[in-house]
Amino acid sequence: MQTPPFSPSEARAARARMGMTPEQVASGMAQLGLARPPEAVLAWEAGTAVPTEVELFALADALWCPVPTLMALRPTTLREFRLGRQFTAERLARRIGMDPRAYARAESSNQWTGTDRQTLALADALGMRPEEVLDVIGRAAELASLLQQAVEGRWKAHTGQVAELARADERRVGRALRTLHREYGRFNERYMGHLVARSGDDRLREVATERAAWLSALPERFRQLTESGGD
């Protein structure tokens, strides 16, 4: 089995914060039902060995430390989110009503094949925000493309599809798309204004660069608007 991400330095720092000896950490893990010698704790901290998933969970509990801290990362993949919530792959699969073999394939290939119901259950079990779910199931790029189509064209025609994909209230999405459409329109107005006024190329490039940066940040701007009500 693939070993989980693990930071020896974070493990040492976590133990130091608790003022615990390796023997005390090993004892704490044993009380959680996983007996390991103090030498195993020292080997993990030295980087000469890496804990298994179950050992990582027990170590985090013994150190009163979140698993992501010991992994030294912010979860971005399905496996990392799962580890962060201390689920084994099989237990998570059962929790969301998915065949464990199908879940294992989805996690190893980074290609989500779950149903809408399983996706909602996954987000709930792992405490994932909507944008994190989209990233994990590989649909963030699809949302970004839809948003760009909406701001460049008829935003109302995209409201339902965007709301479904983003799993957001359709009325909030409509208000957000209306605001984004207006914001995008201002770039075009400025660009055309400079063009008609025969401004220099530098002014035109400046507006084009600002518009490109705005489009790049469009998904985040959309999230801000939907969370605030769309205006």
CATH number 3.90.1300.10 is the correct assignment for the domain at 8-71: no
Whether 96 contacts 123, CB under 8 Å: no
**CA distances to 178, 201, 224 from 229, in Å:** 12, 38, 9
* Distance from C-alpha of 147 to C-alpha of 151, rounded to nearest angstrom: 6
Number of H helices, E strands in the chain: 15, 0
- Give the tens place of pLDDT for each residue, 132-173: 888 887 777 788 888 999 998 899 999 998 888 787 889 999
What ranges do the domains of the chain cover?
Answer: 8-71, 78-138, 141-228
Complete DSSP assignment for 95-152: HHT--HHHHHHHHHHT-----HHHHHHHHHHHT--HHHHHHHTT-HHHHHHHHHHHHH
User: Could you tell me which residues come within 8 angstroms of residue 171 by beta carbon, excluding any fewer than 6 positions away?
Assistant: 230
One fold for both 8-71 and 78-138? yes
The model's pTM is 0.65
Task: Tell whether the torsion through CA atoms of 124, 127, 132 and 135 is positive or negative.
Answer: negative
- Give the tens place of pLDDT for each residue, 31-71: 999 999 999 999 999 999 999 999 999 999 999 999 999 99
* Token code pair at residue 147: 């948003």
Write down the CATH number for the domain with range 78-138: 1.10.260.40
* Token code pair at residue 35: 């007996």
- Give the tens place of pLDDT for each residue, 169-186: 899 999 999 999 999 888
